[in-house]
């Protein structure tokens, strides 16, 4: 019984003093900066430019988990536009790669979060490896 109490105390101390890293992946998207920061196990791993909703459209804010993932998706709503390495987080909204890389860093989409194709592939593989249930997508203004 005494060993169990010591183990519990040690675990609580580790949590309080940061000895246990946050598990999983967190993608933090800042709409005002048009930037995504990706954290793996609580540590900053990547900082990338994104394009989110242009005037007349919106990218939803909030905290989400991936709902579904597709290595390649074609938008039925927008003329079968390619959406490589799509991570859908709310209905038809997704994080995905784009060929319009010159628009990254400023609003340009219909509401999705666009990334450089290689960055979208990196994020997709990281989420797939870690698991959608261990991934958070946080979008703020």
The predicted-structure confidence for 88-112, as pLDDT tens digits, reads as follows 999 999 999 999 999 999 999 999 9
- Annotate the chain with DSSP letters as a single string: -HHHHHHHHHHHHHHHTT-SPPPSEEEEEETTTTEEEEEETTEEEEEEE-B-B-TT-----EEE---EEEEEEEETTTTTEEEEEEEEEETTEEEEE-S-GGGTTS--BSSSEEE-HHHHHHHHHHHHHH-GGGEEEEEE-
Q: pLDDT band for position 20 (50/70/90)?
A: very low
Q: pLDDT band for position 7 (50/70/90)?
A: very low
Question: Which value, in Å, is the radius of gyration of the alpha carbons in the chain?
Answer: 18
Give 91's strand partners. none
Close Cβ partners of 5 (under 8 Å, ≥ 6 residues apart) = none
Contact in structure between 17 and 26 (CB atoms under 8 Å)? no
Would you state the pLDDT for residue 23?
Answer: 85
The percent of residues above 90 in pLDDT, for the chain, comes to 82
Question: Has residue 21 got a pLDDT over 90?
Answer: no
Question: Has residue 13 got a pLDDT over 50?
Answer: no
Which fold does the domain 21-140 belong to in CATH?
L,D-transpeptidase catalytic domain-like (2.40.440)
Boundaries of every domain in the chain = 21-140
Give residue-wise pLDDT tens across range 80-90. 999 999 999 99
Would you state the pLDDT for residue 28?
Answer: 98
Q: pLDDT band for position 128 (50/70/90)?
A: very high
């Amino acid at each position: 019984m005494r060993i169990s109490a010591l183990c519990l105390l040690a675990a609580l101390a580790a949590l309080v003093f940061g000895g246990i890293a946050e598990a999983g992946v967190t993608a933090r998207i800042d709409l005002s900066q048009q930037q995504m920061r990706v954290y793996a196990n609580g540590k900053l791993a990547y900082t990338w430019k994104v394009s989110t909703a242009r005037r007349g459209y919106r990218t939803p804010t909030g905290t989400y988990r991936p709902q579904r993932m597709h290595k390649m998706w074609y938008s039925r709503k927008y003329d079968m536009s390619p959406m490589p390495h799509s991570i859908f987080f709310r209905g038809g909204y997704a994080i995905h790669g784009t060929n319009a890389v010159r628009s990254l860093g400023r609003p340009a989409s219909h509401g999705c979060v666009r990334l450089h194709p290689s960055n979208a592939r990196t994020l997709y593989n990281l989420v797939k490896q870690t698991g959608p249930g261990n991934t958070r997508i946080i979008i703020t203004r």
